[in-house]
Amino acid sequence: MTAAAASWSGARALVTGAGGFIGSHLVERLAREGADVVAFTRYTSQSKRGLLEMVPAEILEKVQVIRGDIRDADAVESAVRGADYVFHLAALVGIPYSFLHPTEVFDVNTMGTLNVLNAARGSSPQRVVITSTSEVYGTARYVPIDEKHPLQAQSPYAASKIGSDAAGISFFRAYGLPVVVVRPFNAFGPRQSDRAVIPTIIAQALTKDRVRLGNLDATRDFTFVTDTVAGFLAAASASVYGRPLNIGSGFEISIGEVAQRIIALTGSAAPLEVDAERLRPEGGEVDRLWCDSTLARELLGWQPEVSLDEGLQKAIAWVSEFRDLYTPDRYAI
C-alpha cells in the first residue's frame, strides 16, 4: 500500500492542466481528500472545462475553476497566488503533434513551466510539483530505467520536457524553491483520449474488424492513472526536493502484446495491422521504456496497486460507456 500522505483537508492546491487526463483525476482526488482546489484550464470561447466535465458533479462543485493560458505570465501569477501546493501539469503532450508544431510545444511546455516557477517564487508555496515524462529518457540504454539514466530527446515534446525539468530543478538550487519533478511512465485509464495508444486499441477492438497501430515491437511501462495520481500526492507531501522521481509499474510490455490482451478482454477477433501513418519519424521512435521506481518506493512510500489487466478492464469499461468520444477511423495526434 502507498504510505499515508499528510492531510489535505483545507490545503489550497492549484492544478494546472486540470482539464486533462491526469489533471482531472488529480483534481478529483484532491477534492475528495478535502483540499481547497483551484483548477486552471485553458480558456475557450465555449467556456469548456475539458475532462473536468467527467468529474462527478458533487465533487466538481467544490472546485474553483479558472481559465487562462499557461503562456500568460499574469494569468499564471494570479492563479498561483495563495496556493499551498502547486501541481503543474499543463502541457501539450501529443508527441506526433510536436513533430509538426515544435515552436508551440516549447512555448507551452518549457516557457509555461518557467511562468509557473516565477510565479511560485513570489508566492512561496509549500511545494511545487513539476510534471515530467518517461519520454525524456528516449530508448533505454539499460533497463530498468532509473533517474540516473541519460536524457535523450527523440521528439520536440521530449526536449521541451527536459527543458521544463531542468528549469524546475534549477529553481530549487538557485532560489530554494521547494520543487520536485514527478516523471510518470505511460499513465492510462478512464477519460484518456484516443491520442494515447491504449484507448486507441480499445476503441478499434470494440468497433472495427481490424486494429491498426504503429510500432508493435516498442515496449512501454503502463501505470494506471489512480496510481499515478497517488505518486503526485506522495511527492507533494514527502520531504524530497530538487530531483526527479520515476512513477511507473516496473512491468515492461510491447505494444503488440498489450493490444492482444485488449483484443482478448473485449472478445474481439480483430487482427493487428501496422499502419505506416502511425509510425514516428525515423530516429523519433522510443523503442523501449521500463521503469525503475525504487526511489519513489523508498523516499515516498509509493507503489502501484492496480495491475495491468485490472486497469485494462477499467479502461475498456470506460471506452465502452463513452464510445461516442472516440474516433477509431481517425489517427488522432
The upper half-sphere exposure of residue 104, i.e. CA atoms within 13 Å in the direction of its Cβ, equals 10
Residues 6+ away with beta carbon under 8 Å from 295: 146, 147, 245, 246
In which region does residue 191 sit, left (phi positive, over 0), alpha (psi from -120 to 50) or beta (all else)?
A: left
The residues annotated as belonging to the active site are 157
Asked if 165 contacts 136 with a C-beta cutoff of 8 angstroms, the reply is yes
Residues 6+ away with beta carbon under 8 Å from 249: 185, 221, 222, 223, 224, 227, 291, 293, 304, 308
3-state secondary structure of 288: strand
3-state secondary structure of 197: helix
- Residue 170 cell numbers, joined: 534549477
φ, ψ for residue 220 (rounded to 5)? -140, 165
Element counts in the chain: helices (H) and strands (E): 12, 13
